[in-house]
Each structure stands twice: as C-alpha cells, then as structure tokens.
Structure 1
C-alpha cells in the first residue's frame, strides 16, 4: 500500500498555519526545503475529531523532544486553512497544520481512503529526503504515539 521505505519522499508545497501564543501565522511549506534534517509528516483525517485532537495535541506537547533530534513535525489534512486555524487555536495545537485541500499529496503518498478521505498515517522523512519509516493505519481510530515516533527518529 502506497510508498515504501527507502524511496524518495514525494515533494510538495502546501499552505499551512502554525499557532504560537494564540496567534496564527500562515505560510507555505515545501518538503524539499527541509533537506538536511528529518521531518515527520502526520496525515490526519479531520480537524476537531476526538482521535485527531488527541494525536495532534500529544505531538504538540512533545515538539521540544522532536526538535532535540533535529526534526520538525507537520500535520497534514484535507481541510482548508480556516478549519486548521480554528482547530489549532481552540485545541492549542502548535505544530504546523498543512492544507491538502485537493488531495494531491494524499494521493502521492498512497493513503487515500475512498469515500472517507485519508488513512491516518505517519511518514518519517530522513535528512536525505528518503522515507525512513512509515505507519499507515487500516482504520483511523488509533495513532502512533509521540514516543514511538521519537524512537524511530533516534535510530536515524
């Protein structure tokens, strides 16, 4: 299903929003511009759902731990920036949330779930731009913990 470890991660540029101190900052995010350090891509189905809120809040709480390993964490969903911004402010999600409104990145990563949007997925992209690790959920009710992702990062 989808991409395999060891292949070059599909590049993309997406609009995103990041909330810090209650203030939202919008900008574009390009994966290839992050070469030189790892990036965690956390694809999630919906703003404001219970599982997505728990997942993204837990990742936000551990951003300093990811930064210690030189990694950035980006959340990617199919919702528009206004939805992401409202969600991030309400739930104090401080990692960047990127909008893949047309689903082209979801399709490039092979995680489309017909009729439902996308499969909850995490891709660890190495400093060299290769996919080093991934987890694609069959059903979106659970997610990989920040601790388990950090363990994978530490192996790089």
Structure 2
C-alpha cells in the first residue's frame, strides 16, 4: 500500500542517530515535515542528497519545517554519517524496513535497491508532495518549493 498525496503521515517509532527512540507523533501535526527515504549511508548519491539537505537546512527551519532522513542503516552508521558530513537533521534507522513498508516506498533497479522517495507533509500531517527519483540532487529543490508554498 503506497501513500498518496492527501494521505496522513502514519505513526511510527524508530531509533535516531543517537540510539534514542523517535516517535513520529512528536512531530506529525505540529510542523511541516520533509521525510526522505534513501538507500544507504556513505554512498555517492545518498551523500550528495544528505549534504544538499544540510546546505539548505536553515531554509527549511526558517519556514518552520523539519527534515528527517530514513534508511535501513543502523543508528551507529547514521551517527558516523551525520558526524562525518555535519548533518544537522534527524536520521532514523529502519533496519527491519517496517517504516519503508508503512509508506509503501518502492524498490528500484529491479528490486535490488531500496527506493529514494521524499514526502512533504503540511503542519497537519497531510502529504502535499511525493517525489520518487533516484536523482539524489533533485529532491531538495522540489521539497523546498513545496515547503515555501505551505508557508504562504
């Protein structure tokens, strides 16, 4: 079951990059969210995407939004990834791929690679934009453009 524009962000709990429990209910319905699923820490495309979100993070924060990255890497891997690239946003570990399934994120490359999909939700938790592309750098401008429209 794939989430669509107009659906609500589902509830989920995951480990963040510090090994703490992250509960989506602490964010959903309180502020606009950019939730992006990516294949793997420290791969060229994923590093480019994470660093692009890092470089624009203040723009998202200024508009009241939070950025959350999710992959199946361990929280220890996320911790190293965040430290190495000075990532200021939340990274969540989805090692059992339950969150990916909850959102209905498709796999790419004949099912060999976890998909790269960005969801933007308004402050009510309603999905306003879904961008599915393996082109890592294209996600950030699309997400920022949507967040700017929500801020009007």
Which residue, 140, 147, 151 being the options, matches 2:141?
Answer: 147
Give the aligned partner of residue 134 of structure 1. 130
Partner residue, 1:9: 9
Which blocks of at least 5 consecutive residues in structure 2 are unaligned? none
Equivalent positions of 1:15-30 (< 5 A) are: 15-17=15-17, 25-30=18-23
CA contact (8 A) 1:38 1:124 kept: yes
TM-score, with structure 2 as normaliser = 0.88
Alpha-carbon distance in structure 1 between the residues aligned to 2:51 and 2:136:
14
Match of 2:24 among 31, 47, 53: 31
Kindly report structure 1 stretches of 4+ aligned residues shifted beyond 6 Å.
Answer: none
Q: Distance in 2 between matches of 1:81 and 1:100?
A: 9
Equivalence for 2:95: 101
Report how many residues are paired: 147
Where structure 1 has 5 or more consecutive residues not aligned to the other structure, the ranges are 18-24
Bigger proportion of residues as helix: 2
CA-atom RMSD in angstroms: 1.7
SS in 1 for 2:15: strand
Structure ranking higher in strand proportion: 1
- Deviation, structure 1 residue 145: 4.1
